[in-house]
Structure 1
Amino acid sequence: MKKIATPIFIFYFLISINQCRRTFHIGILNNSKYEITLTLKLKTPVSKSEFLTTILEIPSDADNHHLYSTIYFRVPANDSNRLDSSKLEAISSNEISYNNTLGEIKLKLQPRFAYFFLNSHSSNEHYVHSIENRFSEIRIDSQNTSSILRQNVIRSLFPYNENCECFLWIIK
């Protein structure tokens, strides 16, 4: 019995360590001609200081007059080398606003840029869970239209995109 159990245990152990977890970026591509205001409503609002340190990952002892890069970044949409790490542009803290009373993050999305604002850690590239767990509503405001998207449709807006190995909502 022991001779059978040991190889089975080793087999399951090797299978489990082979299940690597990858980080997939989640973002929106503004493929329109107009600036778009993106509002992400947090399910659970946090304080302004918690927003800066936890969500934007800006040091708690940061100088308010200094612009810090955040974990949010953007890339040019139509550049053939857009996935080159040298093309990534950090979104500075002055381009992002947060209303802690409403729990809303606002980003100004420039035309022809893809903005990435969340990561999903998973072993399956077709499963994006972070977006629906973090946000209860997404609002898009532009020169032409205004839309409010609630939690039950949010996940379907971010399909897996093999070109960037990310979950990307494309707005035209």
Structure 2
Amino acid sequence: MDIDKIDAAILSELTQNARVSQVDLATRVGLSSTAVARRQRALEEGGLIRGYQAALDLRRFGLATTVVVRITLDSQSDEALKAFEAGVLDCPSVVRCFLMSGSDDYVVIVLARDIEDFERIHRTELSRLPRVARLESSFALREVVNRAVPPSVFGKIARGARRRR
């Protein structure tokens, strides 16, 4: 789906505040609210917008510790990867998991209350995952950047829209 400068502006605004009203969004991008609603629906139907979610302050839920866990499996066979991935889906403390290139097979992001809670998670969830040979954990000291979308995406779209005209 090709998008133009207006679609890019709508997407940029929605990544900042997905609850923005159609009227405010229309004002910000310079269209009528009807036109914005039509474009937003097309972006959703075209798969560019996968959904909307609330950004929660997880510290208020007691999850103050972010742990980055690098995991190496005992094998990189298809069976080992599938078994690990099926298992990690059932870990309630894991919020993200990436299959990696390089020396680690996976990087997993875990949220915990504190170091003691992470010890429990390590013992009862992570170390029990199928085919795990090694776990290496690092504790995040402070979050510096947390973006759903890099701002450069919208700049590229706007530049591309200008070139196509």
Shared fold per TM-score greater than 0.5: no
More helix by percentage: 2
More RCO (CA 8 Å, sep 6+): 1
More strand by share: 1
Q: Which structure: larger Rg? A: 2
